[in-house]
Amino acid sequence: MTDSASMTMPPRVLGMLGGGQLGRMSALAAYRLGLEVVGLFPDDDAPLSQVCPSIIQADYLDFGALDDLVARCDAITLEFENIPYEALSYLARSGKLRPGADLVGLTQDRLSEKQAIERAGLKPAPYRQIDSARDLAQALSDLGGQGILKTRRLGYDGKGQQRISDADDLEAVWQGFNQPCILEGLVDFSWEGSVIVARRPGGVQLQAFPLVENRHENHILSETLAPAPQANSDLAQEAERQARVLAESLGLEGLLGIEFFVTASGLVVNEMAPRPHNSGHWSQAGASVDQFEQHVRAVMDLPLGHPSVVCPTRMVNLLGTAALEHQRWLEQEAAQLHLYGKRSVKEGRKMGHVNILEPNGFDPS
């Protein structure tokens, strides 16, 4: 017989690059599974710091700090993709970084991201590479006289992008950007959706969350409806299939959020993110496993959950000053409030979200 008094549970430790709300919610899920978390980020007042006692506060390119993280962790993941590639490739040498540096690196650049989507046999928005005003004029004429000019790097929530047409002064537009860009043709979509997929190292298991519908205001996600009320089962299956194909093609180890435009001629992939995604927050209330736990399971190489819808759920982002009125949500029986502990309220800043259970489905508005 084994002497149970002498048995121990060895600690299992997850490293988290980035200290934002996605890291905070992933850490809370990790604690639920009995794991320890070490966060590494430069910020003073990060949402993750408030829940995580083990923080290495350092620049991402502080290689001594990265060595420390590697020494303390069984696996290392990230909660935002714009960690310098040099830091990612340094960490990747330990064999502990998930997703891998190459996958994360290609999502840092809209051009390589689109090329990866095409390599997987999927369809991105039509695009051209832009490095000059002359490229811009040619691309506009190729793409029907209008489009959205986007910086290749560091754009998010509509930042670093501008809608333009051939009536604009293209020289002036280009001077305003003056960095590597792409021009995207305007996609005529009827609605926007997304799928989140998790894949374990080596691809031993892969699980996709159902297709959801996303609504934006000022280019920022405002609401997610899960599962997507406008999707028939063929479309929902096709979106899941495409998400799986992309995850396999990229050799994903971890979580990937894939945004789609739904058009009359099928799905167009907008963009992807190698981490938990805002459009997956609904799963904390409405699914059999939430995306943050699935993220942790995937990167720690634990069996994945089988995500199924337990209750249709509407996720509403609390942006900027909307968070100041959060108490009204506490009075609603079917609403679950999440605040990220951010003190400074800025317009459009993601301060929290609410998951509202809709057992009778969504009203059509």
> Could you list the residues that contact ligand AMP (CB under 6 A)?
125, 148, 158, 184, 186-187, 192, 216, 219, 270-271
Minimum distance, C-beta of residue 257 to ligand AMP, in the bound complex (Å): 11
Identify the helix (H) or strand (E) that includes residue 206: strand 206-208
Minimum distance, C-beta of residue 188 to ligand AMP, in the bound complex (Å): 8
Taking the least distance from each CB to ligand AMP, the nearer of 42 and 126 is: 126
Taking the least distance from each CB to ligand AMP, the nearer of 62 and 168 is: 168
Beta bridge partners of 89: none
Encode burial over 193-222: b for 16+ CB neighbours within 10 A, e otherwise. bbbbbbbbbeeebbbbbbbbbbeeeeebbe
Which structure tokens are listed for 231? 């999707």
Taking the least distance from each CB to ligand AMP, the nearer of 93 and 216 is: 216
Other Cβ atoms closer than 10 A to 10: 6
CA-closest candidate to residue 37, choices 59, 23, 54: 54
Taking the least distance from each CB to ligand AMP, the nearer of 230 and 336 is: 230
Q: What's the Cα-to-Cα distance from 280 to each of 80, 144, 192, rounded to whole Å?
A: 15, 34, 14
- Residue 184 Ramachandran class (φ > 0 left, ψ -120 to 50 alpha, else beta): beta
CA 167/CA 171 separation, integer angstroms: 12
Taking the least distance from each CB to ligand AMP, the nearer of 207 and 279 is: 279
Minimum distance, C-beta of residue 148 to ligand AMP, in the bound complex (Å): 5
**DSSP annotation string for 52-99:** -S-EEE--TT-HHHHHHHHHH-SEEEESSS-S-HHHHHHHHTTT-BSS
Residue with tokens 């060895």: 10
Taking the least distance from each CB to ligand AMP, the nearer of 28 and 117 is: 117
Q: What is the CA angle 110-113-119, rounded to 5?
A: 145
Q: What's the Cα-to-Cα distance from 204 to each of 77, 80, 94, 209, 318, rounded to whole Å?
A: 19, 25, 21, 17, 37
| Cβ atoms of residues 129 and 113 within 8 Å | no
Minimum distance, C-beta of residue 45 to ligand AMP, in the bound complex (Å): 26
Taking the least distance from each CB to ligand AMP, the nearer of 13 and 272 is: 272
**Crossing angle for the helix pair 170-177 and 133-142, to the nearest 10 degrees:** 120
Minimum distance, C-beta of residue 30 to ligand AMP, in the bound complex (Å): 28
Minimum distance, C-beta of residue 219 to ligand AMP, in the bound complex (Å): 4
Taking the least distance from each CB to ligand AMP, the nearer of 30 and 183 is: 183
Minimum distance, C-beta of residue 160 to ligand AMP, in the bound complex (Å): 9
Minimum distance, C-beta of residue 318 to ligand AMP, in the bound complex (Å): 19
Taking the least distance from each CB to ligand AMP, the nearer of 48 and 148 is: 148
Minimum distance, C-beta of residue 220 to ligand AMP, in the bound complex (Å): 8
